[in-house]
Amino acid sequence: MSVPPVSAPGGARRRREHHHEADVVVVGAGVFGCAIAFALANQGRSVLLLERWMTEPNRIVGELLQPGGIAALKQLGLGHCVEGIDAIPCKGYNVIFDHIPSLVPYPTVDDGGEVIYSWSGSGKNGKRPEGRSFHHGKFITRLRESCLAHENITVVETEVIKTMRGEYTDHVLGVETRTKDKETGKRKPDYFFGQLTIIADGYDSNFRKDAIGDKKATVKSKFYALELIDTILPLKNYGHVIIGKNTFPTLLYQIGTHETRALFDVPIGIPEASPAAGGVRGYIKNVAIPALPPSVQPAAFKALEDGKIPRSMPNSWLPPTKQVPKGVILLGDAFNMRHPLTGGGMTVAFSDALLLSRLLDPSRVPSFEDAKAIRAAVNVFYWRRKNVTSIINVLAQALYTLFAANDRQLHALQNGCFEYFQRGMTDGPCGLLAGIIQRPAVLAYHFFSVAFLSLWLNALVICAGPLGFLKAPLALIDAVLILWKASCVFLPLVWREGFQ
Ligand SMILES: Cc1cc2nc3c(=O)[nH]c(=O)nc-3n(C[C@H](O)[C@H](O)[C@H](O)COP(=O)(O)OP(=O)(O)OC[C@H]3O[C@@H](n4cnc5c(N)ncnc54)[C@H](O)[C@@H]3O)c2cc1C
């Protein structure tokens, strides 16, 4: 059979459908895969998007999209995907530490979208961006529908098994897959070819070795999930972070008119969740739920009633690794992950898709056959993405370490952090978390401001009471230890995420 030229009317579509051949093969129609497929298709590229399960996903991930992610989604031309899915507007966070709430709303911004009080304080009136929370499956279905409707994209339900390389080169030429025969139900081998293959197969990627070698994610805890029905959150339209004196962080956010997601962080191997203590269910029932606001507890206990262990997902940290693409690029969670405490994963995915598509624009890279141009674009992408992603990643990891404090210095830093919020220093931290402040110096400034406030508060406690000044040397030693701990938490993360 002769292959129609790409320029022929419908030629590219026929090449995708009949010859399984396109400019780019994207593996995984999840958050990143859909976004990059759509962005490249909008630039006129012919795209094959391969997904193993096209049914609506039922997952406990990717349910809150930060304002920075909403902005990137709109620029990708996919802003409509948060409409018509019963999404709930989110105005920021209500952080409840030991039953005391601190409101951390998304910051006020000027007409150009710049945060006005990024270094200090918080705006009282003015425009504030919003996030959206929703059922992950409904959102993914909308993203997939947009790809299915795009004339330059062909979506195929097939499971990718391996990448294919040329006989005399290690350049990836496409992928081998298994496609279910609709009539017999049997899985048959299939092959898809692209000048470029983009792999975005998620947190448990089978293809890391192909692109970044033996890098493994670090997992210190898991999130266990409940879906609460018709519960009453202390504040409507705010995500809630709850930390008790003896509990690890719990997240609460409404994902539909009637549904609220609860995610309980359970560090691996903690005695509170040991079999003797009743396992994870025991920890959630006896320790974590009683620390929730009283209005939420009945729905949480009810959601536990089915007797099952709640669904869980590992909370992974995988810093990015430089890639020298030979026909394949690994992206999304497969490439870079952070603790989901701050809900930053999708914001990273959409801003990465936006940046990469701009760097691969046909005006810069006319053909994906030009391996040198792709290598140059991916190199620029690696360093430029850090303005957004290093902030989100470092903040997520550092905040988690503070919120799940397990020693004296970390507890001091945790106290300092909540006092910082109580004093109204919220616009900077929340703007960083939202993905709308893209200046790493602002993150460093707020982190060390919290550290200095922590050692000051700690010194006040140590030196309280008559003749307390005699304990000043003790306070000084503690101050050094707290500052040292803050540096140990922050600086290695900054080095790994920002400079490597
Ligand atoms: C508990 C938890 C909660 C989270 N909450 C949030 C949140 O509220 N907000 C936020 O922004 N981020 C959140 N995240 C992170 C976010 O979910 C991820 O960053 C995001 O989903 C990554 O997108 P991705 O496209 O890389 O992977 P995914 O969205 O997982 O997509 C991967 C796709 O690849 C497909 N696939 C896999 N293997 C193959 C194969 N062999 N062949 C074909 N297809 C394949 C999968 O079926 C899937 O559709 C959370 C993460 C966790 C763990």
pLDDT band at 211 (very low <50, low <70, confident <90, very high): confident
> How many CB atoms neighbour CB 149 within 10 A?
10
For residue 96, being part of any structural domain is answered with no
Decide: 264 and 223 in contact? Cβ < 8 Å: yes
- Of 316, 333, 349, the residue at which a domain comes to its end is 316
Return the pLDDT at 3: 41
The percent of residues in the chain predicted with pLDDT above 90, rounded, is 85
- CA dihedral angle for residue 190, residue 194, residue 200, residue 204, rounded to 10 degrees: 40
C-alpha radius of gyration, the chain, whole number: 24
* 420 pocket-lining for ligand 1 (C-beta < 6 Å): no
Average pLDDT of span 463-488: 89
Measured in angstroms, how far is the CA atom of residue 336 from the centroid of ligand 1? 11
Residues 310, 445: one domain?
no
Answer yes or no: is pLDDT of 8 > 70. Answer: no
Residues 407, 379: one domain?
no
For residue 326, being part of any structural domain is answered with yes
Average pLDDT of span 264-269: 95
Return the pLDDT at 214: 79
Q: What average pLDDT does the structure give for the chain?
A: 94
For residue 23, being part of any structural domain is answered with yes
The percent of residues in the chain predicted with pLDDT above 70, rounded, is 98
* 160 pocket-lining for ligand 1 (C-beta < 6 Å): yes
Residues 401, 264: one domain?
no
Full DSSP string of 179-191: EE-TTT--EEEEE
Answer yes or no: is pLDDT of 244 > 90. Answer: no
Measured in angstroms, how far is the CA atom of residue 53 from the centroid of ligand 1? 13
Q: How far is CA 485 from CA 267, 454, 490, in A?
A: 20, 11, 9
Answer yes or no: is pLDDT of 273 > 60. Answer: yes
In tens, the pLDDT along 450-460 reads: 999 999 999 99
Residues 45, 140: one domain?
yes
Measured in angstroms, how far is the CA atom of residue 343 from the centroid of ligand 1? 12
Closest CA to 101 of 450, 433, 421: 421
Closest CA to 349 of 490, 201, 152, 155: 201
Residues 144, 41: one domain?
yes
Return the pLDDT at 469: 83
Residues 143, 46: one domain?
yes
**Tokens coding 226:** 């409940």
Average pLDDT of span 319-337: 95
Which helix (H) or strand (E) is 396 found in, with range? helix 386-403
pLDDT band at 1 (very low <50, low <70, confident <90, very high): very low
Q: How far is CA 444 from CA 201, 247, 300, 392, 449, in A?
A: 32, 27, 37, 12, 8
Residues 150, 64: one domain?
yes
For residue 460, how far is the Cα from the chain centroid?
38
- Does the CA dihedral 412-391-87-226 come out positive or negative? negative
- Of 316, 332, 348, the residue at which a domain comes to its end is 316
The model's pTM is 0.95
Measured in angstroms, how far is the CA atom of residue 333 from the centroid of ligand 1? 6
Residues 229, 293: one domain?
yes
Return the pLDDT at 406: 84
Question: Looking at 55-59, 190-194, 208-212, 294-298, which range is the least confident one?
Answer: 208-212
- Of 264, 284, 316, the residue at which a domain comes to its end is 316
* 255 pocket-lining for ligand 1 (C-beta < 6 Å): no
Return the pLDDT at 182: 86
How many residues are present in the chain? 500
Q: Which domain holds residue 256?
A: 218-316
Q: How far apart are CA 202 and CA 224, in angstroms?
A: 19
For residue 21, being part of any structural domain is answered with yes
| Ligand 1 atom at shortest distance from the alpha carbon of 158 | 43
Residues 397, 326: one domain?
no
pLDDT band at 150 (very low <50, low <70, confident <90, very high): very high
In tens, the pLDDT along 106-138 reads: 999 998 889 999 998 888 888 999 999 999 999
Closest CA to 59 of 241, 178, 227, 216: 227
Return the pLDDT at 5: 41
For residue 497, how far is the Cα from the chain centroid?
15
Average pLDDT of span 72-96: 98
